[in-house]
């Protein structure tokens, strides 16, 4: 007589191999996230009243997206094996064009066009100097930074432009307004959402689009990329143009947020932005990059000063802790992944 055996249904669990593969692919971004969480926990323990107050995060989120708009394109340039030090002045001159257009009575949306065109033009010039003229990107972009800042100073003689009525513009409400009743944070800065959307666009371009693949191939081995039929020069120029566009958007957003344009607009972005790129896990030798990790690096750099003040220390400690976090993060990335090249 045949007997029937009862078998229990198989409960499928997430594959450990798939999880390990995910961690391996995103180890640099996850490492940056771990550093950020550790810092946040330390700051919260040091002063719970400050870091459990939603107003603290709202204040940080006011200027954080400006840095996101320049850090995301910088990942492309660094991954292509180059560097760009001209973006602070590009922010300044693009925002100047936007401010002058507004002052001349242009529609606020139309005033964004000359800012973007200048950003694209600067990216094309810098990219051409690096690829076709053969200048070092370090020297070419540093020279361009001084040149553009000199043009701003000569043209304005240090005089800024104020826009007390800019809050009445539809552009301000759309890109720099506040969201009432946002979960946990009332009057949430809407441009924080635009910054995160820009990060998403950058991630798609870098990880899911042909342009991002070409950037990584060019940064890893330009000769091999050429043999594959990739136009190395135009890929690098495209990366510099992307930085110009991001810098122009950052400049426009800076004017909207601060309701003022100053000739020094963008000056303070150089070191924090580069630090965020490297802290986030994008190495200096090219071929590798992480948009998400570098964006988390922006959060790390932005939260350090607030955390230091909240912990009861003076602002004199800011540079010390910036350097400490950068070095520790880079050491962590160095030993958290396989050796490349």
Tens of pLDDT, residues 287-303: 888 999 999 999 998 88
Domains of the chain are 31-333 (1.10.3470)
Among left, alpha and beta (phi > 0; psi -120 to 50; other), residue 314 is beta
What is the rounded CA–CA span in Å between residue 256 and residue 237?
Answer: 29
Which pair of structure tokens corresponds to residue 308?
A: 């230091």
Dihedral (C-alpha) 310, 316, 322, 328: value to the nearest 10 degrees?
-90
C-beta of residue 274 within 8 angstroms of C-beta of residue 252: no
pLDDT at 9: 52
Q: Which residue has the tokens 């999880």?
A: 19
pLDDT at 308: 83
Residues in contact with 1: Cβ distance below 8 Å, sequence separation at least 6, in sequence order:
none
Under-50 pLDDT residues of the chain: 1-2, 8, 10-11, 340-341
pLDDT at 321: 79
pLDDT at 55: 87
What is Dmax (Cα atoms) for the chain? 102
pLDDT at 337: 58
CA R_g for the chain = 23
Q: Which residue has the tokens 């995301």?
A: 72
Query: What is the pTM for the complete model shown?
Result: 0.90
Which pair of structure tokens corresponds to residue 121?
A: 């033009």
pLDDT at 338: 55
Strand partners, 179: 188
Count, in order, helices (H) and strands (E) of the chain.
Answer: 15, 4
pLDDT at 224: 92
C-beta of residue 261 within 8 angstroms of C-beta of residue 165: no
């Amino acid at each position: 007589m045949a007997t029937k055996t009862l078998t229990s249904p198989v409960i499928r669990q997430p594959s450990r191999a798939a999880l390990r593969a995910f961690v391996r692919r995103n180890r640099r971004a996850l490492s940056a996230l771990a550093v950020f969480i550790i810092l946040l926990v330390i700051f919260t323990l040091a002063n719970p009243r400050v870091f459990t107050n939603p107003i603290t995060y709202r204040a940080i989120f006011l200027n954080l997206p400006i840095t996101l708009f320049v850090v995301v394109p910088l990942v492309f340039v660094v991954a292509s094996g180059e560097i760009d030090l001209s973006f602070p002045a590009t922010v300044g001159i693009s925002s100047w064009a936007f401010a002058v257009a507004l002052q001349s009575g242009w529609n606020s949306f139309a005033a964004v066009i000359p800012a973007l065109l200048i950003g694209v033009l600067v990216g094309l010039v810098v990219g051409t100097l690096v690829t076709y003229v053969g200048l070092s990107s370090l020297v070419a972009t540093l020279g361009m930074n001084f040149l553009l800042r000199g043009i701003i100073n000569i043209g304005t003689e240090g005089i800024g432009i104020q826009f007390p009525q800019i809050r009445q513009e539809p552009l301000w409400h759309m890109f720099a307004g506040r969201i009432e009743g946002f979960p946990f944070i009332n009057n949430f800065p809407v441009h924080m959402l635009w910054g995160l959307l820009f990060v998403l666009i950058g991630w798609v371009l870098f990880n899911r689009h042909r342009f991002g693949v070409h950037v990584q191939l060019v940064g890893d081995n330009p000769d091999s990329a050429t043999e594959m039929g990739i136009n190395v020069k135009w890929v690098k120029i495209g990366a510099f143009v992307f930085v110009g566009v991001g810098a122009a958007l950052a400049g426009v957003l800076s004017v909207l947020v601060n309701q003022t344009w100053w000739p020094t607009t963008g000056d303070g972005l150089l070191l924090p932005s580069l630090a965020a790129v490297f802290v986030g896990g994008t190495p200096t030798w090219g071929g590798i990059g992480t948009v998400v990790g570098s964006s988390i690096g922006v959060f790390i750099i932005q939260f350090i000063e607030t955390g230091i003040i909240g912990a009861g220390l003076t602002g004199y400690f800011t540079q010390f802790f910036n350097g400490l976090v950068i070095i520790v993060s880079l050491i962590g990335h160095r030993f958290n992944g396989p050796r490349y090249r």
